[in-house]
Amino acid sequence: MTSKAPRACDQCRSRKIRCDNILQAGKPCTKCVGSDIQCTFTYVRKKRKPNIATAQSNRSPLDSVRSLIEEILSSSRYTPPSDPETVREIIVSLAKYARSLDDHSTRLRKAMLGDDTSLATSPSEQAPQVEANISDELSSDDDVNSEAFNKISLGHSSVRHFGKSSNIRFIHDVMNKGQTGEKAQFNLDLARSRRPEYWGLDVWKFPQVNPVPAYEFPEIDLLWDFINIYFNKIAPFFPLLHRPTFENAVVSGLHLLDSDFAAVVLAVCAIAARESDDPRVFRHDTKVTAGWQWLRQIRLVRPHFVMPTSLYELQLLSLACVYLRHTNMLDSVWSLAGLGVRLAMDRGVHRMKPGNARTVESELYIRAFWILRNIDIVQGMIMGRSTAVNSEDFDIDMPAECDDEFWEKGANNEAFTQPVGKISVLSFLTQYTKLLDIAASVRRNIYCIREVSEFQSDNLSSFERNRKKVMQHDSMLNNWLTSLPEHLRWDPHRLDLVRLGQSAILYTTYYWIQLQVHKLFITRQDPTNQQVFPSFVICANAARSTVRVAQVTHRKSKNQFEVLVNLAHGSTILKMILWRHKHGISPTPHVDIDVMGSDIKSVIEILSAADSSSQTMGRIVDKIRAFINAEGLLTDLPVPATSTSKRARQDEDDLLIDSLSRSEIPDLEHQETGSVTGTLTHTFDEGSTIAASGATADSDPYSFEGRASSSLAYISAARETHMSFDDKMQHDWDSFMKNVDEVLLAIGFN
């Protein structure tokens, strides 16, 4: 039997040196003798406990950990082992399991976005590449998203964006222009000079790891119903997500591993629930709250902004805006959209220009930015507030006009290639974005609090300056309408309901922007001001045209939210006309008040069809009805005979498509003033008339013959006869708005 090797003494063991003791007659080792210390042998080796992962050889480590988790979470109270070493091994095993789940989630998320070629790739190897890809796609102009900033920035993340006005940007430029050796020495000196109390002490930062929420998802069959509803009914008008990527992620269970993606899935469920007839979506015996049981689980705004935004956060904010605009939390949409735009800019998304090197991730970032920007513009205009960013502050690429199924590499080995002859559904988003850019210009120039610089030094009178603004934006609207692709032009006979809905959104938004351009000039604020525009006629025309478009889509399909909101805005003009008639202040004897009354009834009917699932629409309908009833606007009007025959409706549709095929607003900058004969006159007193080449408002309420010169004729005739706004018009409008406020307040509407 082999004897055990002699043990080291306590001192040699603690000093980790070789002990030469022989234990003969209890003599100490030479090391202890030389150090003049006592040589002892008190250390006793502890027996190693069996590893819990290998305690059961017939079970895998994963099964053992899962069994342990089940035991800990069981209904019976779990009693941890008393031995500290065993407890430590349990904690280590659970930590390794949690890390493996996090690694798998990271690899899966990147694989879904097309950044990983294999799920087996290490996330530590791939993470820098993801950020590098985003940086490469940014505009190379004067902005920087570089890891080099880690050496000179005040502790900011390398994925954050710094514009050319930033001091950090300035220092970076100076360093780049210096010699390589000097820059290296600077970086070394800077690293040495960093004092720990200013660079390493972050006690005020919030914890960066938040508790993982325990989300509750719909049943699996209902979940997939929601996904199909979203991509079939919502996505064509709100193309935020990429269907193949999203569905693959759900199939792979990413929503069960990644809480950020899980929040996006819940938001999709909430939106789709409004379109579902499944009884499981109902809460409180009404469909108005459908989907809230899933959205309410999400924390929309994180408690801190230590880390830059992610793609999922931008998508979540966009989806939340779509859901909340149907609720009494509509006011929060402007805040959420603006937050999303600023978070995207913080990451540098507003400078992304991938060009032909688009990836799934870069394209989804681009979509998210433009959709948040569009929501911000609409809500800002509705609420009379500014947008988060002006158009001159970003140069991001437009979304690729390529349908979801063509993002991957095809037969020609090229990604993002739309087949020749197949029109992309995404062309709608391009045209809608261009149209809303005009709306942003209207808000900035016509509704600005202080005059923008381009109009400050023109030495024009207030009348001429306002006329110039209106003509400028009328021309922009005309150019947009002229350049609109044929497949998006209004055609009430269109069989493709997706194209019909997209066209309805574009045209009603076009009319809504017309109202924004001209409604401010229906009356003047200063009685001595001589601003005379054809604004009243244009606003009435835009309002009635919006009703006609909404009527067609109401008969054939369900109106989108954008159409309904634009219809509600147009109803304000109709109510004003009826109110003026009620008080004996008719804008023109040629306006058919009976038809106006019929239009306002159609507005109520169309909006009422949507109030079963939209609290916003329900409130709008209640307000319209309350004001009409309180003022008795429809009591003295006969019910017009309306034909319900298919032939009659088709004739009306043909009339509408003929009128919409022409540009609604003239380009006044290219008209010859001397060519106007004055046959058309427009005043705003009780005896006002509207006539243009024999056409009257009731002969064709959607367009006027000779419209190319009608607006200029109004202005020219007014200036030649020295007409100005009558004081009664100002009193008329003030009284109308005062009555609106008093009536709504009296019945409890704020």
pLDDT digits (tens, 9 = 90+) for 43-91: 777 655 555 444 444 455 666 777 777 777 765 677 788 788 888 888 8
pTM of the model: 0.70
What band does 169 get if pLDDT is binned at 50, 70 and 90?
Answer: low
Closest CA to 557 of 602, 501, 611, 508: 501
pLDDT tens by residue, 431-484? 999 999 999 999 999 888 887 666 555 677 777 788 888 999 999 999 999 999
> How far apart are the C-alpha atoms of 400 and 418, rounded to whole Å?
9
CA angle at residue 608 from 602 to 612, to 5 degrees? 160
pLDDT tens by residue, 692-702? 223 333 333 33
Per-residue pLDDT, averaged over 247-274, amounts to 95
What's the pLDDT score for residue 109? 64
Closest CA to 142 of 165, 119, 109, 122: 165
> How far apart are the C-alpha atoms of 106 and 383, rounded to whole Å?
40
Sequence spans of domains, the chain: 1-45, 65-199, 214-298, 305-423, 480-746
| The pLDDT of residue 326 is above 70 | yes
> How far apart are the C-alpha atoms of 266 and 272, rounded to whole Å?
10
Burial of 655 (0-12, 13-18, 19+ CB in 10 A): middle
Angle between helices 243-251 and 84-112 (to 10 degrees): 150
Q: Is CATH 4.10.240.10 the right assignment for the domain spanning 1-45? A: yes
| The pLDDT of residue 296 is above 70 | yes
Beta bridge partners of 692: 695
Bigger pLDDT: 35 vs 313: 313
| The pLDDT of residue 267 is above 70 | yes
What's the pLDDT score for residue 582? 82
Phi, psi of 38 (to 5 degrees): -75, 135
First to last CA, the chain: 97
| The pLDDT of residue 1 is above 80 | no
> How far apart are the C-alpha atoms of 634 and 632, rounded to whole Å?
6
Q: Are 272 and 291 in contact (CB under 8 A)?
A: yes
pLDDT tens by residue, 193-202? 777 777 766 6
What's the pLDDT score for residue 526? 42
| The pLDDT of residue 120 is above 90 | no
In this structure, the chain runs to a length of: 750
Q: Are 207 and 307 in contact (CB under 8 A)?
A: no
What's the pLDDT score for residue 502? 97
> How far apart are the C-alpha atoms of 634 and 235, rounded to whole Å?
39
Tokens representing 125? 């190897």
What's the pLDDT score for residue 643? 46
What's the pLDDT score for residue 207? 58
CA distances to 193, 588, 594, 632, 639 from 635, rounded to whole Å, are 82, 21, 11, 5, 10
Q: What residues have CB less than 8 Å from 100, skipping those under 6 apart? A: none
Give whichever of 73-77, 109-113, 366-370, 738-742 has the largest mean pLDDT: 366-370
